[in-house]
Amino acid sequence: MMNDKCGVFGVYGTPRASHLAYFGLYALQHRGQESAGIVAAGNGNVHIYKGMGEVNQIFSNRDILDRLKGHFALGHTRYSTTGASSLTNIQPLLITNQSRKLAVAHNGNLTNSLALRRRLEKSGSIFQTTSDTEIFLHLAALSGKRSWVNRICDAMKVVQGAYSLVFLTDESLIAVRDPLGFRPLALGQYNRHAYVVASETCAFDIIGAKYLRDIQPGEVLEISEKGLVSKFPLPKKQHAFCIFEYIYFARPDSRIFGENVDKIRRRLGRQLAKEHPADADIVIGIPDSANTATLGYSEESGIKFEIGLIRNHYVGRTFIDPEQKIRDLDVKVKFNPVRGVLRDKRVVVVDDSIVRGTTSKKLVQLIRSAGAKEIHLRISAPPIISPCYFGIDMPTRKELIASSKTVEEIRRYLEVDSLGYLSIDGMLSMPSLPKNNFCVSCFSGKYPLKIEATSDKHRLEKI
Ligand code: SF4
């Protein structure tokens, strides 16, 4: 079983919907680079095309999009953990049940997927993939209800975990968000009569759509020729929005969980400067994800912001590369220091997280080799001590450096002059957003949901 941590995009009510889905996925590429797919529907026909690689590689030929005819479409861009990056797991997943089609694209991770899968297999279900997303399709197919939307509501009564989903049926799109709302999902308007849903609002900007609102936690929103119909089939729960989306994952030009990512990320940097000031000449960020927090640090501290590292954009992000081999490639492939900026300087380096510590160590060596006199590492998040079971790919607890080392031990391992992490309270001090609406489990080790006993990553990957 795999963790899916991805981008989803749906559009309803416009000709050439697949072309818009392509651009939407293009804007969501940072949420997954391993594979992508689009399913389009209209006039009783459903067409699908999927492939391994990045969106522009898969849909390199516009004829492919032209063949995906219809006035509504669903797209997905995917990243998965090691072990099962196979063609069969590429989303959207599409089934036919009693001559009716159902496709699904998922961002998130179920926390009771093993138990559900075993139960379904015992009662005769045959799984085509190793993805937990397929569970929704089996549960929906087994429900005795007539409409897909009611079948999906039934499935929600048994699944647990993080899911922002978009389904495509023969006549509608159905957007769904789990009751805790771990992953973002937004609704927008395109032209006068079309609607779009996407993991992040940057996918609206690229096609000129207008953000209307978030899909609410626990909401099931059906979009069809009848317009929008919303349901809340489950009791309300305390929300658990993933704070890591703000820290690292979402694009700074997106609006998620009711606030602009840029604004929150900059505030994280400002708070970091208050908690961990440094006597230094310049502040640099690890590009690109730490750039915004670095600006916040510079604004608050008055230390000059400089571009000290250049990132090669043609290499995937270290944190989300599927293969360990790729993760171990020298950081030199990805970053090059600007010697003229760093030489003989006392440098504050801002990054958004330290996972295993191996990449950070190499980056420190790289900056040192460019002549930096002192390195003061600042992290715009608290130490990650526990894995994520809600859709962000992280290594096992043992591999997380902060699960077993103190800050001082990490400082010595990284060979930096000082090291400061943002505190949990500091991270949550966002005046516009209520603190207790966030999941901070990877920093606190306390989870808002029961994690099934077998949910350790290695067991999951061996399924
Ligand atoms: S555990 Fe961390 S990464 Fe996972 S949902 Fe919670 S805050 Fe986000």
Query: Is the confidence at residue 379, as pLDDT, over 70?
Result: yes
pLDDT at 462: 28
- Mean of pLDDT values over 449-463: 54
Ligand 1 pocket: which of 242, 385, 389 to mutate (most atoms within 8 A of CB): 242
pLDDT at 318: 45
What band does 37 get if pLDDT is binned at 50, 70 and 90?
A: very high
For the CA atoms of 127, 132, 133, 136, the dihedral, rounded to the nearest 10 degrees, stands at 70
What band does 460 get if pLDDT is binned at 50, 70 and 90?
A: very low
Q: Is-above-0.85 flag for pTM?
A: yes
243 lines ligand 1 (CB under 6 A): yes
Beta bridge partners of 176: 165, 220
Q: Is 227 left (phi over 0), alpha (psi -120 to 50) or beta?
A: left
Q: What are the two backbone dihedrals, phi and then psi, of residue 302, each rounded to the nearest 5 degrees? A: 80, 5
The alpha carbon of 284 and the centre of ligand 1 are apart by a number of angstroms equal to 26
Ligand 1 pocket: which of 79, 107, 243, 436 to mutate (most atoms within 8 A of CB): 243
Pick the CATH number of 263-444 from 3.40.190.10, 3.40.50.2020, 1.20.58.1290, 3.40.109.40: 3.40.50.2020
Q: Encode pLDDT of 104-139 as tens digits.
A: 999 999 999 999 999 999 999 999 999 999 999 999
Q: Which two tokens stand for residue 156?
A: 């929600």
- Domain 3-240 annotated CATH 3.60.20.10: yes
pLDDT at 86: 76
Residue 31 · residue 9 · CB < 8 Å: no
Residue 402 · residue 355 · CB < 8 Å: no
- Mean of pLDDT values over 399-421: 98
The three-point CA angle 42-48-54 to 5° equals 130
Atom 4 of ligand 1: nearest residue by CA position: 388
422 lines ligand 1 (CB under 6 A): no
Q: Encode pLDDT of 215-225 as tens digits.
A: 999 999 999 99
For the CA atoms of 398, 403, 405, 406, the dihedral, rounded to the nearest 10 degrees, stands at 180
Domain boundaries, the chain: 3-240, 263-444
pLDDT at 84: 59
Q: How confident is the prediction for the chain on average, in pLDDT?
A: 92
Q: Encode pLDDT of 59-99 as tens digits.
A: 998 899 999 999 999 999 998 643 356 788 999 999 999 99
164 lines ligand 1 (CB under 6 A): no
The CB density around residue 328, as the number of other CB atoms within 10 Å, is: 12
Considering the chain, what percentage of its residues have pLDDT values greater than 70?
92
Beta bridge partners of 194: 190
Residue 289 · residue 254 · CB < 8 Å: no
Query: Is the confidence at residue 457, as pLDDT, over 60?
Result: no
Helix (H, G, I), strand (E, B) or coil at 136: helix
What band does 1 get if pLDDT is binned at 50, 70 and 90?
A: very low
440 lines ligand 1 (CB under 6 A): yes
Q: Encode pLDDT of 304-339 as tens digits.
A: 999 999 998 876 544 445 554 455 456 888 899 999
What band does 405 get if pLDDT is binned at 50, 70 and 90?
A: very high
pLDDT at 431: 80
Higher pLDDT: 387 or 4? It is: 387
CA distance 288 to 286: 6
pLDDT at 83: 35
Higher pLDDT: 302 or 462? It is: 302
CA distance 180 to 218: 7
438 lines ligand 1 (CB under 6 A): no
381 lines ligand 1 (CB under 6 A): no
Q: Encode pLDDT of 245-256 as tens digits.
A: 999 999 999 999
Q: What are the two backbone dihedrals, phi and then psi, of residue 380, each rounded to the nearest 5 degrees? A: -85, 35
Residue 335 · residue 312 · CB < 8 Å: yes
Dihedral angle sign, alpha carbons of residues 388, 31, 41, 218: positive
Atom 8 of ligand 1: nearest residue by CA position: 242
What band does 456 get if pLDDT is binned at 50, 70 and 90?
A: very low
Q: Encode pLDDT of 176-197 as tens digits.
A: 999 999 999 999 999 999 999 9
Active site annotation includes 439: no
